[in-house]
Amino acid sequence: MFIVKIILGLIGLGVVVFVHELGHFLAARLVGIEVEAFSIGWGKPILKKKVGAVEYRLGMFPLGGYCKMRGENEFQEAWENRKKAVDPVPGTYFGVSPFRRIVMVFGGPFFNLIFAVLVLSIIWGTGFEVSTLDNRIILASEISGDHLYPADEAGLKTGDRIIGVNGKKTPYYHDIQENIAVNPEKNLALAVERDGSVLDIEVRPSLDKSTGAGKIGVYFWTDPVISAVTGPAAAAGLEAGDKILRVNGEAILYTVEFIKILEQSPQELTIDYERKGAAAQTVLIPAYTEKGEADLGISYGIVQYRNPPLNPFAALVKGTQETYKTFVVSLRSLALLFRGIDLTQAVSGPVRITYMAGDIAAEGFGQSFGTGIRSMANFLSLISIALCMMNLLPLPVLDGGMIVLFLIEAICRKPLNPRAINAFQTVGVVLIFGLMLFAVFGDVLYLIHR
């Protein structure tokens, strides 16, 4: 399964990188920069065919691709020959105006945004199932017992329903989490239903330094009614539809109460349950992983609803809105990197992204083919937006850094000195290489933990 996840992840990540390079390719053709080669995948070409002036290649490693433009490395030759400027040969990278180069450079990130809009529009246009939880909460302090959380300080109670956040309705768990996660250390106005009344409660999510997300210290309520059994639960005779009443003599009102019981790593669990109105009891022998995590073989009921398909125009509008919202959230998340969060957890490199893409796809395909495709497409749209945003950062080597260089050239109205370009690019290579090493180190730790 691990290999399958990696393969699925490589395919997905390759699609996003290919779209980026396709944007550069088409933009280059648009502004008059000649393209010498366009490759799907990296490494030695296993297939290649020249059409006009462009050689189209299929690389040995089918991950992403690249676009090689005529004269893009001429600044290095000029620097080595100690020239003060690159000779502007028509049709080459430095032979067009700075603004044309900006259009070409921006083409890659722009295509990533277009890709995200199209993918999300298709998802909304075809409709999709949503699996989520109820909006009823449980205070984490009642489970862990270690300290108080923002939810406790705000006066929330177990059993409350959070029906609104900052004026937006939150009928389900994911609606609440979405608003809390992106607003760490910001005051949020909650509409809370308690005992038939609606209360206005203000809460300030804390910053989870391991993820960069906001949290208030709540779990979400799931009734302890079994929806499916495997392994240990099946061996114990439990069935779908059974309601768990007590475990080792302790009453179970909601499923997260299992956390306290399983912290003691019990070798067996005495389970009292109700089946079709009759009480019964059984003994369940948990299975434990190498990391000491308990597997009971029990699944619980979740809330499922279907977002109906939208017409093409409405789907396009929704896809655009979702892309914009994700882009803004990504920018906010980038700012959190400078607020003391655990970078080894919050910064993902290509290894972790590949695994996560494959993991999400494999989990989705485990439910159904359609769910797998939608899950993979949704994640790829997120990665595509992130790739767009990261490439637009004004850092050397990245597209944003090149745009800054070309803007300076346009403002100064004279060609850039090859020595300055080389120094700028060298600094960028060192920065990006260092960041990649750091990210891959975090990725390895992540996979070991997995």
Nearest C-alpha neighbor of 445 from the set 362, 320, 347, 299: 347
Closest CA to 292 of 263, 260, 259: 263
Q: Which residues pair with 67 in a beta bridge?
A: 38
With b for 16 or more beta-carbon neighbours within 10 A and e for fewer, the 141-173 pattern comes to: bebeeeeebbbbebebbbebbbbbbeeeebbbb
Question: For the range 278-282, what are the long-range contacts, defined as Cβ-Cβ under 8 Å and sequence gap of 24 or more?
Answer: 279/245, 282/236, 282/237, 282/238
Active site residue ranges? 21
Which two tokens mark 45?
A: 């070409």
Amino acid at 9: G
Contact 28, 35 (CB under 8 A): yes
For the stretch 261-269, contacts whose Cβ atoms lie closer than 8 Å and that sit 24 or more positions apart, written own/partner, are: 262/286, 262/294, 265/292, 265/294, 269/296
Which residues are paired to 278 by β-bridges? 275
What are phi and psi for residue 397, nearest 5 degrees?
80, -40
Contact 39, 3 (CB under 8 A): no
DSSP per residue, 183-242: -TTS-EEEEEEETTEEEEEEE-PEEETTTTEEE-SEEE---SBEEEE-HHHHHTT--TT-
Find tokens 């800054």 and name the residue: 404
Query: Which run of H or of E encompasses 175?
Result: helix 173-181
Structure tokens at 348: 């993902």
Q: Which amino acid is at 207?
A: L
Closest CA to 385 of 437, 440, 351, 334: 334
Contact (Cβ atoms closer than 8 angstroms) between residue 382 and residue 13: no
Quick one: how far is CA 168 from the chain centroid? 23
